[in-house]
Each structure stands twice: as C-alpha cells, then as structure tokens.
Amino acid sequence: MAIRLVIFDCDGVLFHSDRANVAFYNAVLREAGEPPLEPDAEIAAHALASSELYKNYFADRPEVLERVRQVSRGLDYGPFYPLMEPREGLYDILKALRADYRTAMATNRSKTVHGVLNHFELAPLFDLAVGALDVERPKPHPDMLIHCLDHFGLDVAEAVYVGDQPTDAESARAAGMRFIGIGPIADRSELRITELDELGPVLRSL
C-alpha cells in the first residue's frame, strides 16, 4: 500500500525544543520548592509525557509529586515558546508534503499541543494533532498512532511515523507502523534521515 499519512513527533523533529522544555520543568520545580532537574531527567524530559516524567522523578515522594503536578497544571507555557526553534525549512517542507500526503502530529506534549501549532502558525499545515491528553496511554504505547489511523480510516500500512526518540520507535513498533528516525536515533532505525528535507525522497521510495 502507498503511504497516505505522515505522522510527526513534535519535539526534536519539528522543533529543537530542549531549552524550552528544560526551562519549563525547572520553572515548575522552582515554584514547587524543588531543585532543578538532574541531567538524566533533562534527557527524559524530551521523551516522556510530563505526567510520566513527574511520576518517575518523584516516585518515592508522593506529597511532592502532587504539589509538582498542581504547579505544572497552573503554569503558563507561553513564555517558553520563544525558546523553541523550528527545524530549518519546516514550513516549506510541510507545504510540499501536503501536496501528496495527509499530515498529523503525535506528541507526548499535553496541554501545549495546540498552543505550539497556534504560536508558530502551523495549524493549517496539519490535519490532526494528538497529545497525551487525547489518549489513554502516552508513548511508548501505540495509542496515539492508532488514534491517527482511526481518525483517517487508514490501514497501518498507509502511514509512517517520524520521530527522534526510542519511545517514538517503540510506539511505532507497537502499532505495527513503519518508522523513520531523525537525529540520534537514526542510526538505529531501518529508515533514517538526517534533516527533514530528506523526508520526501524517503517517502517516495516506500
């Protein structure tokens, strides 16, 4: 079957957003009276949903976990959007892809999914955006990708997922979907790209 739908992760794929995410989480922790993220947690912050990150980080301190969750729910992500850097040529690449494919975003972001699209004026370039609050289980579970397939009424062979984290690859594998790795995970992916502008030729080869 030909590919009809391209699903993108957000952070690390559409954006270089390491600085933004770490700054947001550290702001949450500061307001909750906790020290900044440890280096290992900074790495996890780019792959896990915030609910999972907090649960893992404060597993042995339930009272702190609840306080951090409350602070996170009330903290505005707006000031951190400017720290996100769109991938080079992002808008032109998406516009070109939409001539031949439907496009969707599946990300472990929660309340900021549509905020990202609106802030960067990307909403017209996506047919669907799915986040951690839209499904029962975040990545690495396959729920988001299955949600995308159900929304468009497509077979799994008609879609491909583009991600940069092991959790993205695991989610695609669990859904039975082809996966294209970009960035550090590319070397461990059957299909790989270095930059987004390489995506078109790879898709046409499928």
First and final C-alpha spacing in the chain? 9
| Tokens linked to 132 | 């951690």
Q: Residue 83: left if φ>0, alpha if ψ -120 to 50, beta else—which one?
A: alpha
Q: How many CB atoms lie within 10 A of CB 136?
A: 8
pTM over 0.85: yes
Evaluate whether 125 touches 94 at the Cβ level (below 8 Å).
yes
CATH number for region 5-16+85-204: 3.40.50.1000
Query: What is the domain partition of the chain in residue ranges?
Result: 5-16+85-204, 18-81
* Closest to 126 in 3D by CA, of 156, 142, 148, 147: 148
Tokens 């299909």 belong to residue: 191
173 contacts: CB under 8 Å, gap ≥ 6: 179
Q: What is the pLDDT along the chain (206 residues), one digit of tens a residue?
A: 899 999 999 999 999 999 999 999 999 999 999 999 999 888 888 788 888 999 999 989 999 999 999 999 999 999 999 999 999 999 999 999 999 999 999 999 999 999 999 999 999 999 999 999 999 999 999 999 999 999 999 999 999 999 999 999 999 999 999 999 998 776 678 899 999 999 999 999 99
